Amino acid sequence: MTPPVIRSSFSLFWFYVPGMPDLRLAVTLPELLEVTHIDVLKPVPFAAYFTLGIGYWRKEILTAIDLGAMLRGPDSSVVVPGDKTRIIVIRADVEKGRELVAWPILDGGRIECPGLAPVAASPEGLPTEVLRASVVLNEQEYHLLDTGGLIHFAQEQGAEQIPLHLPS
């Protein structure tokens, strides 16, 4: 039985990530700060395998990750972004406050106002703690990320060596 769709008046930004081009992911608009380009990412020694580096965004230091590699696991290859790669910058609410994190996305994302359905099963083996809900829009399924759960999952996967957001 399919879970009922809950109508809601929220907006989200959906996107695809490198290495997982068939999985539609999404974040809510309050979590989305910008879709942009980060000119320079500095490598971080001893960081988790999915950490691309740290960079500047609007005078803030943030950590860039390969979200696809993190979700696929430590045996996956990391996609290094090029100069023209679009980066999504998000703000996640976590236990200690708010964190800034960014990751590359593929072309084709946009803002939508869908209905929600509870997550019945983790799609394609993704950890359920990083998913908030399944979104059904025009009979297409999207997976709304729980950004706080995503940060927690990243820290469990080895990102505790560095803070995800360094204070300015």
pLDDT digits (tens, 9 = 90+) for 30-86: 889 999 887 788 888 888 889 998 888 888 888 889 998 888 888 888 877 776 788
Say whether pLDDT at 137 is over 70.
Answer: no
How far apart CA 76 and CA 49 sit, in angstroms, is 9
User: Most confidently modeled of 66-70, 93-97, 117-121?
Assistant: 66-70
- 68 within some domain: yes
- 1 within some domain: no
Looking at every residue in the chain, the average pLDDT score rounds to 77
- 43 within some domain: yes
Say whether pLDDT at 1 is over 60.
Answer: no
Tokens at residue 158, please? Answer: 């080895």
- 5 within some domain: no
Contact 99, 90 (CB under 8 A): no
- 126 within some domain: yes
pTM assigned to the model: 0.74
Model pLDDT, residue 124:
64
- 123 within some domain: yes
CATH number of residue 33's parent domain: 2.40.50.180
- 3 within some domain: no
Mean per-residue pLDDT, 93-109: 80
Mean per-residue pLDDT, 155-164: 63
Contact 62, 55 (CB under 8 A): yes
- 44 within some domain: yes
Model pLDDT, residue 19:
85
Residue-number span of the structural domain to which 162 is assigned: 12-166
Model pLDDT, residue 98:
78
Q: With bands split at pLDDT 50, 70 and 90, how would you rate the model's confidence at 107?
A: confident
Model pLDDT, residue 143:
77
Name the domain count of the chain.
1
Model pLDDT, residue 7:
47
Model pLDDT, residue 41:
85
